Amino acid sequence: MAELDLCLVMPVYNEAECIAAVLTAWHDVLGGLGLNYLICVLNDGSRDGTAAELSKFAGHPRTEIIHKPNTGHGPTILEGYARACPRAAWVFQCDSDDEVKPEHFATLWAARAGQAAVIGYRVGRAQSASRRILTSTARAVVQFLAGGEVHDVNVPFRLMESATLARLCAQIPSNTFSPNVILSAAWVRNRCAVTWIPVPHHGRHTGAVSLVRWTLWKAAVRSLWQTLRCRPRL
């Protein structure tokens, strides 16, 4: 039986400017809800001062810090899920860039009963023309493959029931570029109960977006190709 109510999985790469404030905000919110929780932070080979900032939380009873070689965002998320699922009834994944605020988590948590996943979908998101095209295309393709509505295919603000998540992740290769896209399609295709809740999106104020221009397009093609090939079943 899982010992925790919730394990929050947070991949981190070069977020020295904001990571301490982001972690503090999450501890305030989760502690305020009275949850038995753990924040699992996976430092994916950051090259700035992220490790030094994370050292401020060394010994914190509800923070687990893992420093690992750089493998990319997707494999890091999957590693986090593998660590979290056996330990908690629910797994929540968010990014460390503070683009969706912790204050919106309570709404997802309150809606979890009977659900395989409760997922925030971003509203008010400012995007370049290229990103808008890619986002719309990815959503259309995933909805076609899944046979149902998917509001935000790769949003990093998702609450997931751990037993179902573990079964799906066991079928996803560890080097997958965007496992959350595959999961979004899998829940719908397997007719899982999923609730979508709008969450305000705030632009990045620190760090830099890692995927730009041609790299972004290549990443999108890779992600969609892997989604076509990997179709986990329950």
Q: Which residues, at least 6 apart from 229, have a Cβ–Cβ distance to it below 8 Å?
A: none
Q: What is the pLDDT of residue 212?
A: 47
Digitized pLDDT (tens) for each residue of the chain, 234 residues in all: 569 999 999 999 999 999 999 999 999 999 999 999 999 999 999 999 999 999 999 999 999 999 999 999 999 999 999 999 999 999 999 999 999 999 999 999 999 999 999 999 988 766 566 666 566 666 677 776 667 778 788 899 999 999 999 999 999 999 998 899 999 989 999 999 999 999 999 865 555 555 445 565 676 677 777 777 888 999
- Whether the CB-CB separation of 180 and 137 falls below 8 Å is answered with no
* CATH class of the region 4-229: alpha beta
Q: Note the residue count of the chain.
A: 234
What are the helix (H) ranges across the chain?
19-32, 50-54, 73-84, 105-110, 129-146, 162-169, 179-189, 213-229
CA nearest neighbour of 181 among 214, 215, 134: 134
Q: What is the pLDDT of residue 127?
A: 58
Cα–Cα distances (Å) from 196 to 80, 218, 219, in that order, read: 23, 28, 25
Q: What does R_g of the chain's alpha carbons equal in angstroms?
A: 17
- Whether the CB-CB separation of 89 and 2 falls below 8 Å is answered with yes
Q: What is the pLDDT of residue 204?
A: 57
Q: Which residues, at least 6 apart from 53, have a Cβ–Cβ distance to it below 8 Å?
A: 16, 19, 20
Rounded distance between C-alpha atoms, residue 129 and residue 230, angstroms: 29
Phi first, then psi: give them for residue 148, nearest 5 degrees: -170, 180
Each domain of the chain, given as residue ranges in start order, spans 4-229
Q: What is the pLDDT of residue 170?
A: 98
Q: What is the pLDDT of residue 25?
A: 98
Q: With 0.95 as the threshold, say if the pTM is over it.
A: no
Tokens of residue 89, six digits: 């009834």
CA nearest neighbour of 35 among 130, 141, 146, 159: 159
